[in-house]
Chain A
Amino acid sequence: MFNMEFARATMGAILREGLPATLTVVFWTLVISLPLGFLLGLIRFRRVPVLMPLSTVVISFFRGTPLVILIFLLYSALPDALARLAQIHGWGIDVYGLLLGSTKGYAVFICSTFTISTMAEIFRSALGAVEAGQLEAAHCVGLSTAQAYWHIVIPQALVSALPNLGNDVIGLVKGTSLMFYMGLKDIMGVAKTEAGPAYAYVEAYVDVLIVYVVLCFILQELFRHLEQRLRSYGAKG
């Protein structure tokens, strides 16, 4: 039988503890990933020597690695390896304390690695979608390439990147649900913790489902409105 009482209580816990944790991780991941992803996308679009092939390797790695494996690599393998290194060289640094002191902070780090990678590709293709004539016209009225990018190319690219960014952010929100593997008390983490002792996984998962669906719906609408507002210059009429 579906334990309604338990589902309601768990929902309360999820909204009190889990949701703020998820939103915090998503927020800081975006604060880090949007500018860095854009910078990386610009480097790739402009085919900056040395940095371009380097970024290809890094991006391919983070985009191609399943999130669960990425969490294992960065949460377990990487700190272990660094701690070993510190021990061998006698650096006297508390690697675990330094890296894993804040679960949320480390979750932000892991989320940022793959979000920067996917966003770099989104921004690269958005920059490519801006017509070459826009840059030529800017040059002809006396703008430098940097000025043309700042006033013309980048604003247009940001608008055309919005739909894909929206998808990416929703993917990120759902991706954070795997962070309970590293002990993050996010939406999923709280639900699991509550469900375990009572063995009421169905109820907990239904709660999780509802919270994610509503959260992603809100985000989707937010991006839709943002796009409509910013794209107003493209409206016919």
Chain B
Amino acid sequence: MIEVRGLRKSFGENEILKGIDVHVDTGDVVVILGPSGSGKTTLLRCINFLEKADDGVLTVGDMTLDLKSVRKKDIAAVRKRTGYVFQNYNLFINKTARENVMLGLTVGRRMPKDQAFAIATAALDRVGLSDRYDHYPSQLSGGQQQRVGIARAIALNPEVILFDEPTSALDPELIGEVLQVMKDLAEDGMTMLVVTHEMGFARDVASHVIFMDDGVIVEEGTPKDIFNHPQHERTRQFLRRILKGEAGEFGGSGI
């Protein structure tokens, strides 16, 4: 479905991604774990051309692109097939929840207004915001804003959705509602590539887990492989540190 080969990216002298290979099959939920600064977010941003990669090959469906030399047309084509959910939501602050979801349909895809209206309404219903259609982002909680962000992505019917730490900016009591929406999406068969620190979500929902550190993939496997039998010392250290932090929650949240 979506595949990255040999992805490299530097900011100045600082090499952030040192040759990354990722493969996501249709219906997979691939979770990327790793400490801050390991390059997880940059990886997602390069896939959607929010950053320009220095080297690598990207395959989305039947399209294969050399990331060194992409054209505007290719970028538009990839974005048409991928959804993106941001860490800090990035809802359009001058648009209501429903307008946020509609804009990509009416302007990006030139869909008639009434049709886009129906799709946007259904997408907001799907994330449990049937009573918030006409609210502006400033009138919504963080969890509600992020659910609008997810509705905005799914309304465009993407083949894969990229999630960039979707719960990192949320108050702890709001994380659950967003994870639940993501879990529902996964159960409906949505293909997802998720950067997160939510170990419970990785363990229960992921079909494949990737552990990144310092710009490389240290190890990957099923959640069971990574959580129960980590092969590398760096992975073990990371898991110990994170799981100690959420000792009470891990295994108990049900998500």
B91 CB to closest chain A CB (Å) equals: 7
Main secondary structure of the interface of A (DSSP, over half): helix
Q: Encode B170-197 as 1/0 by CB contact (under 8 A) with A.
A: 0000000000000000000000000000
Decide: A136 near B90, CB < 8 A? Known: A142-B76, A143-B107.
Answer: yes
Residue B103 interfacial (CB < 8 Å): yes
In the bound complex, residues from chain A placing their C-beta under 8 Å from that of B95 are: 152, 233
Cα distance, A234 to B136, chains bound together (Å): 8
B94 partner, pick from A133, A156, A236, A237, beta carbons under 8 A:
A156
**CB <8 Å contact, B139 and A133:** no
Cα distance, A215 to B138, chains bound together (Å): 35
**CB <8 Å contact, A133 and B103:** no
**CB <8 Å contact, A236 and B139:** yes
- A-B contacts, CB under 8 A, total: 74
B138 partner, pick from A142, A144, A236, beta carbons under 8 A:
A236
Give the total of A residues in contact with B, Cβ under 8 Å. 24
Extra A-B contacts (17), CB below 8 Å, given A151-B103, A232-B136, A234-B93? A133-B90, A134-B90, A137-B90, A137-B92, A138-B92, A138-B103, A139-B50, A140-B48, A140-B153, A141-B103, A142-B156, A143-B103, A143-B104, A143-B108, A233-B93, A234-B136, A235-B138
List the 6 shortest-distance A-B pairs measured between CB atoms, nearest first.
A141-B104, A142-B108, A133-B90, A137-B90, A140-B84, A233-B136
* A interface residues with partner B (beta carbon < 8 Å): 131, 133-134, 136-144, 147, 151-152, 155-156, 159, 232-237
* B interface residues with partner A (beta carbon < 8 Å): 48, 50, 76, 79-80, 83-84, 86, 88, 90-96, 103-104, 107-109, 136-139, 152-153, 156
